[in-house]
Amino acid sequence: NAGVTQTPKFQVLKTGQSMTLQCAQDMNHEYMSWYRQDPGMGLRLIHYSVGAGITDQGEVPNGYNVSRSTTEDFPLRLLSAAPSQTSVYFCASSYLYTGELFFGEGSRLTVL
C-alpha cells in the first residue's frame, strides 16, 4: 500500500493564481482531511470529509475549496493564492471514528 500520497511536493505560485493540491489514499479510509502547518502554530484543520460527497469546514477554510467525488481522492483547491497561504499542507486520512490519522509527506507551497 502506498498510504497517503500528496502531489506536488513543492509549488511556487504568484499572488492571484489558482492551483490544486492532490491527495489520494489507498486504505479505503472514510475520513480525509487537509491541515496546514505554519511555524509556531502547529497544524490547523482546513477542510475535512467523512465520506464521498460529504465535506465540511475546519478551523481555517477561507480561500480553499474541497470536493470528495470518490473515497480515494480529496483535492484541495486554492482559488486565488495569497502570500498568507504560504505554508506546508498535509493531507491525512483514517477509518471513521478510530482517531489514528495517517499523514502524507506534505506539500510545500510558496506564494509570491
Partner 1 sequence: SQQGEEDPQALSIQEGENATMNCSYKTSINNLQWYRQNSGRGLVHLILIRSNEREKHSGRLRVTLDTSKKSSSLLITASRAADTASYFCATDPQETSGSRLTFGEGTQLTVNP
Is 100 a residue that touches partner 1 (CB under 8 A)? yes
Nearer residue to partner 1 within complex by CB, 10 or 14: 10
For residue 111, give the nearest of 7, 6, 19 by alpha carbon: 19
Residue in this structure with the C-alpha cell 479505503, named with its chain if needed: 28
Nearer residue to partner 1 within complex by CB, 14 or 42: 42
Residue 25 belongs to what H/E stretch?
A: strand 19-25
Q: How far is CA 40 from CA 22, 92, 109, in A?
A: 25, 20, 17
Nearer residue to partner 1 within complex by CB, 14 or 99: 99
Nearer residue to partner 1 within complex by CB, 77 or 108: 108
Is 94 a residue that touches partner 1 (CB under 8 A)? yes
**Preceding omega of 75 cis (within 30 degrees of 0):** no
Is 4 a residue that touches partner 1 (CB under 8 A)? yes
Which three cell numbers, joined as nine digits, stand for 104? Answer: 502524507
Q: What is the rounded CA–CA span in Å between residue 107 and residue 9?
A: 4
- Specify the stretch interacting with partner 1 by CB under 8 A; choose among 14-22, 32-40, 62-70, 75-83: 32-40
Is 56 a residue that touches partner 1 (CB under 8 A)? yes
Where do contacts with partner 1 occur on this chain (CB under 8 A)?
Answer: 4, 31, 33, 35, 40-45, 48, 50, 56, 58-59, 90, 92, 94, 96-106
